[in-house]
Amino acid sequence: MLSPERLALPDYEYLAQRHVLTYVEDAVCQLLENKEDISQYGIARFFTEYFNSVCQGTHILFREFSFIQATPHNRASFLRAFWRCFRTVGKNGDLLTMREYHCLLQLLCPDFPLELTQKAARIVLMDDAMDCLMSFSDFLFAFQIQFYYSEFLESVAAIYQDLLSGKNPNTVIVPTSSSGQHRHRPSTGEAGTPEGVEASLFYQCLENLCDRHKYSCPPPALVKEVLSNVQRLTFYGFLVALSKHHGINQALGALPDKGDLMHDPAMDEELERLLAQIPGLVTSVTASPEASYLPPRTPPRVGSPWRPLHHARKVDGESDGSTEETDESET
């Protein structure tokens, strides 16, 4: 039975909306890169396992950043994987620095850019120094907003600056760089403008922006709800409100509610099953409980070609194993 959404859209629009071509191209590239291994068990099985992994969200593990950010589904899958792998950090009540969180991100994506982690940390820390400690939940929900809506936030930052400088708010804003504008506006209390901008005028500007960012912005109704609660706000005040909004988190659908963030019975059961099959790993964790759960500041993992997908479950298990080591080493 086809969904109403599927019936309402022409084939080419539906395929484009779901980014099917992106996954087909990636599957073909992997097929060509690993054709000797894949030939041992068949092309049909390879494509079956590839698209199963896409549906399950495991296809983004240890992939390059360009692929992880390529589609909304990839971004949501990466957020979910980060939460599931490292939620024990929050479960144990540990506070980490921005660079330590960045090391954890690089365990899943070796070339994950530091700048994106810094932007997420700035939402939490505001005017505090960047080496201050953050809770897992605070960082995770700020990271979700910054990572999933990164292009949208670049444009929001440009609009905010134009409003501060008195420019026409109806001017179409197109960021000239994906890395500069957000980073260069960290302060919520720039000289002479501690009160930010008028919320209603800000929303008028964002309304058209949301129309242009159909697949990478929060639902406009929820943005309006955030801005209707205040008369004036700062740029980072807006980002904090987005990161803490229950409805926006639900609409994105990657993470559970904050109250359920540390609970994942299915993952706990899977971890126990996997660890029972790897006695060497259990022994090493038990023998060295004081071992640090964090990777070195210079991550040892180097990007390598993606392995054939018939190894995907094994790789996933290794990632889960490192999560359990986090838990053991903390106690």
Task: Please list the ranges in the chain whose pLDDT falls under 50.
Answer: 1-2, 173, 176-193, 282-331
- Cα 36 to Cα 39, 52, 197: the distances in Å are 5, 21, 59
- Spatial neighbors of 269 by CB under 8 A, at least 6 apart, are none
DSSP-assigned beta bridge partners for residue 96:
134
Distance CA 324, CA 100 (A): 18
Residues 173-183 pLDDT 10s:
455 444 444 44
pLDDT for 211: 77
Contact between 123 and 141 under an 8 Å Cβ cutoff? The reply is: no
Residues 17-45 pLDDT 10s:
788 999 999 999 999 998 888 888 899 99
Residues 76-97 pLDDT 10s:
999 999 999 999 888 888 999 9
Contact between 281 and 319 under an 8 Å Cβ cutoff? The reply is: no
pLDDT for 148: 96
Distance CA 112, CA 104 (A): 10
